[in-house]
Chain A
Amino acid sequence: MNKSGTSIVSDTTADAVALATGPVAGPRLNSDLVQLVIAITLVIIFGLVPNFVGNPYWTQTLQILILYASVSVLQNVLLVDAGQASFGQGAIFGLGAYAAAMAFGLYQMPWIFAVGMGLVGALIGGIIFALPALRVQNFHLGFVTLSAAIVFPQVVVILNDWTNGINGIIVSVPQLTNAGLFGASYLSIVITCFGIAVLCFHYALRRTRFGRRMRVAAASPEAAMALGISPGVMRSVAFIVTAIGIGFAGVMYLPIVGFVTPSAFSLDLSMLFFFAIVVGGRGQILGPILGIIILYFLPNVVFAQFLDYRLLAYGAVTLAVVLLFPDGIVGSFEKWRIKRRHATPDGGLRLDRMIADDLVPAAVGKPVTQAGDVVVKVRGGSKTFGSVVALDGVDLDIRRGEIHGLIGANGSGKTSLLNVLSGFSRLSGGTVSIKDAEITRLSASQIARLGIGRTFQTPRVFSFFSIWDNLRVGLDANPNVDAQLKKRAGALKGRLDTQSAEWLPHGQRRLVEVMRVVLQNADVLLLDEPAAGLSPEERVRFSELLKYLRDTLGTTIILVEHDLDLVLGIADRITVLDTGRVVATGAPAEIASNPAAKHMFVKARNA
């Protein structure tokens, strides 16, 4: 933007110019919008054109294509945005279809009521899928959903008395299928609108606070919890919301085909929805549509005489794509486009300056409550893993507004203590309280909401987000964003929204995490070996930044760090741990001369 912001952090010399590198007129980081436009155009063409041509076969085939593609879009949301691999969405589709068909075809309820029944049926399916997802992930969840897909048609047959079993149900809805507006049937219009709505939903979801938090939870449950997000809630919501959409698609399938049997919702259907994403490109807006065209449309229409080979084609195309283009068709194209046009960010990017210049001033002004009172208190904290004692009767007091160093040899319990403080593990005995609230039994996300932020040994920076979105998830977790912070953050957006986080060097990634925590409005920061991997110059700047945060925001910083020079240089007090016990606590000078801790400061080179 401009270089007017006076740099408080470290030197103001030549590299301040780096700030002037401002908004790069770079390429878009993702082509979501372009993909959305292409996808919507395709849906409109597929949905409406055949009506005017007046070919029932094409009308029907393309309507089904749109429905399948819509289901795949929702499966894409589930798989990529929420991180849930389900092989059973065909069963949800079937639940929607069957619930509506039974209501309308067998029990003669009004159509609109049948639609409602279909949605309820799918919703119940979504809840059933969400339950195991709370407990298990990956292939376990894959197998559960897979078996649900296998079992669904069997259940329909077993419930013969209510579902008419293998004989199926006839569903004729003439008021929908007859020609309506301008020669297009209402059905075509509804389906086209639904396809567009689903695509817009995916596009918009990614641009909402909720969508970003969902993606964070999918990519890194730990980072999500540190931002106050409960990954289980995110998963459940994803299953339930997508189930409703998929259920609607199932309901609309009825008037198209006019007849349902259990075999229409076999495992193949679930596979089609899943494979379409893989082939089209996981996470790409346009991916599912392309995937359905390749896996459903081409075999059924263009190669109709080879219909028997359809299943073979599914499998073969998918396998080939996994092996040759693991990112799928759209994804591979995207990767190539970004690689070609996007240079690695210039080394001059000074995120530490941005924290000092843009973020902190916005956050200053809130009262720094009585510095000096105890903000984190551990009493008799012990933690055992099986027979291994990680923490053994730890007493710890952290005062407000201090930088407190936790040091000790490998395995002394530093990281265990940090994990206990942030709720990632629980004490086996003793208590922890933060800001007078007892947190011993709270979950990590509950603790995060109390204003405790943490960073990780490996920075949790998400390459699918721009740098700005990586920061924004911090702002998303901030319960009271005031106008000033918003404005200041907006300034960052201009600079960082077009920069991919993928090629950020490590030192900058570390700073992204710190900026995120600042935006989160956390007043207690837990830093897990933040200097690891930083160059000597970066270490100096980083220490300056921490001091700056303490002095201007009154942030309490708890620092686990191996670099003793750094800790001695910035810490107000230091606690030394050895085999899970506190062996010394005090000011750096006291610690350096304390016999219990002395050996740690005997430098290797002086040995």
Chain B
Amino acid sequence: MLAELSIIAVRGIGIGAVYAIIAMSFNVVFSSSGILNFAQGTMFILGGFAGYMVIGESVASWPLWLAALLLATVIVAVVVTVQGALTLMPLKDSVEQHSWLISTMAVSVILTATLMLVQGPYSWTVQSPIPSFTIFGMRTPAPYALAVVAMFFWYFVLRWFLNKTLTGLAISAISQDMDAARAAGLRVRRLQLLAFTISGVIVGSAGFIVAPVVTLSADAGMRYVLHGFIAAVVGGIGSNGGAVLGGILLGLLSMFVTFQLGGAYQDILSLVLLVAVLMIRPEGIFGRSSARRV
């Protein structure tokens, strides 16, 4: 019993960290442009694929692993940036302000299909160069710990970037008051694009790091985008602190469900959680920014 609880806790927090990272990458784009990138989950998967396509499925040496991490991050960042440029393009003077809903979804489908063509419908099992470790007497694959490290890393890096650097402050400024930001001469479009790039860096590196413990298949992207979204909604969209809490909560819940009922129930319970939060508290459990109530 205790053993089971500690597995749920350790792996739940680990997988929750992944959801939290995806949720934070959502937030970066959302707060600068009001866009929720439906392709973010596929980008996450792309990060894993891109890296391991280079180093192969077997255990890689440390330097090679780091090089692959860098490469995966750059590839995803570039792809997301291109996607961002395409997504922002019709928003310039279009009346149809919700075209992003469709265009980001279309990009997600395109990427999934491309991965499917390249890799087939099978999921990959890849090895981490870092050995498993033991916590509470449980052998735990290292990527779970790495995910938690990455989550805190990005949380604090984003905090620093958005609050301390001039560029980060400018992105924060857009989310606080778009008109005032433009009046102050901030290059809104360029900053929004940069936010896409940053979200790509976050999600691409995370995808590579945790690849050994997640289902790495072409069509898994949708699951991750949903779980990232649920984490963001639970935490309150736009709040990175909320994303961390929401992600962990969701991770623990889905691990608990997996152990109690079986893995097949994970997505269903997540959907129930999403609907419950939206019906009861659309602004999120920890959040202030509100969903559009009607």
Bitwise, A112-140 to B at CB < 8 A (1) or not (0) is 00000000000000000001101111111
Contacting B90 at CB < 8 Å: which of A154, A158, A322? A322
Contacting pair B267 A151 (CB below 8 A): yes
Contacting pair A135 B293 (CB below 8 A): yes
Contacting pair A271 B294 (CB below 8 A): no
Contacting A326 at CB < 8 Å: which of B38, B90, B113, B282? B90
Contacting pair B226 A146 (CB below 8 A): yes
Grouping DSSP codes into helix (H, G, I), strand (E, B) and loop, the B interface class, with mixed when no group exceeds half, is: helix
Contacts A140-B291, A314-B113; A85 near B268 (Cβ below 8 A): no
Contacting pair A144 B114 (CB below 8 A): no
Binds B, one of A56-64, A97-105, A304-312, A482-490: A304-312
Q: Which of B78-124 contact A (CB under 8 A)?
A: 86, 89-90, 94, 96, 98-99, 101-103, 105-114, 116-117
Contacting pair A319 B106 (CB below 8 A): yes
The answer to whether the Cβ of B135 comes within 8 Å of any Cβ in the partner chain is no
- Interface size for B (C-beta < 8 A) is 46
Q: Please name all residues of chain B whose beta carbon is closer than 8 Å to the beta carbon of A138 when the two chains form the complex.
A: 98, 101, 292
The answer to whether the Cβ of B223 comes within 8 Å of any Cβ in the partner chain is yes
The answer to whether the Cβ of B274 comes within 8 Å of any Cβ in the partner chain is yes
A-B contact count (CB 8 A): 130
Q: Please name all residues of chain A whose beta carbon is closer than 8 Å to the beta carbon of B113 when the two chains form the complex.
A: 309-312, 314-315
Distance A315 CA – B90 CA, assembled complex (angstroms) = 17
Q: Please name all residues of chain A whose beta carbon is closer than 8 Å to the beta carbon of B59 when the two chains form the complex.
A: none
The answer to whether the Cβ of B233 comes within 8 Å of any Cβ in the partner chain is yes
Distance A72 CA – B275 CA, assembled complex (angstroms) = 25
Distance A131 CA – B280 CA, assembled complex (angstroms) = 12
Q: Please name all residues of chain B whose beta carbon is closer than 8 Å to the beta carbon of A140 when the two chains form the complex.
A: 233, 278, 282, 291-292
Contacting pair A147 B101 (CB below 8 A): no
Distance A312 CA – B114 CA, assembled complex (angstroms) = 7
Distance A154 CA – B270 CA, assembled complex (angstroms) = 13
Q: Which of B38-68 contact A (CB under 8 A)?
A: 38
Distance A468 CA – B271 CA, assembled complex (angstroms) = 44
Chain B residue, CB-CB nearest to A322: B103
Bitwise, B279-291 to A at CB < 8 A (1) or not (0) is 1001000000001
Distance A221 CA – B294 CA, assembled complex (angstroms) = 8
Contacting pair B101 A85 (CB below 8 A): yes
Contacting pair B278 A326 (CB below 8 A): no
Contacting pair B102 A278 (CB below 8 A): yes
Contacting A147 at CB < 8 Å: which of B96, B102, B226? B226
Contacting pair A318 B292 (CB below 8 A): no
Contacting pair B267 A147 (CB below 8 A): yes
Contacting pair A314 B109 (CB below 8 A): yes
Contacting pair B278 A309 (CB below 8 A): no
Contacting pair B86 A319 (CB below 8 A): yes
Q: Please name all residues of chain B whose beta carbon is closer than 8 Å to the beta carbon of A132 when the two chains form the complex.
A: 275, 278-279
Contacting pair A267 B222 (CB below 8 A): yes
Contacting pair A319 B282 (CB below 8 A): no
Q: How far is the CB of B9 from chain A (nearest CB, A)?
A: 25
The answer to whether the Cβ of A143 comes within 8 Å of any Cβ in the partner chain is yes
Which residue numbers of A lie inside 8 Å of B, CB to CB? 85, 87, 131-132, 134-140, 142-144, 146-148, 150-151, 154-155, 157-158, 221, 231-232, 267, 271, 274-275, 278, 308-312, 314-316, 318-319, 322-323, 326
Which residue numbers of B lie inside 8 Å of A, CB to CB? 36, 38, 86, 89-90, 94, 96, 98-99, 101-103, 105-114, 116-117, 219, 222-223, 226, 229-230, 233, 264-265, 267-268, 270-271, 274-275, 278-279, 282, 291-294
Taking A150-B222, A316-B106 as given, write out 14 further A-B residue pairs in contact, using a Cβ cutoff of 8 Å, ordered by the A residue number.
A142-B101, A143-B229, A144-B274, A146-B226, A150-B226, A150-B267, A154-B268, A271-B105, A308-B116, A311-B109, A311-B113, A315-B107, A318-B109, A322-B90
6 contacts between A and B (CB under 8 A): A135-B279, A137-B294, A147-B267, A231-B294, A315-B111, A323-B89
The 8 closest A-B pairs by CB, nearest first: A315-B109, A315-B110, A311-B113, A312-B113, A319-B106, A318-B106, A147-B271, A322-B103
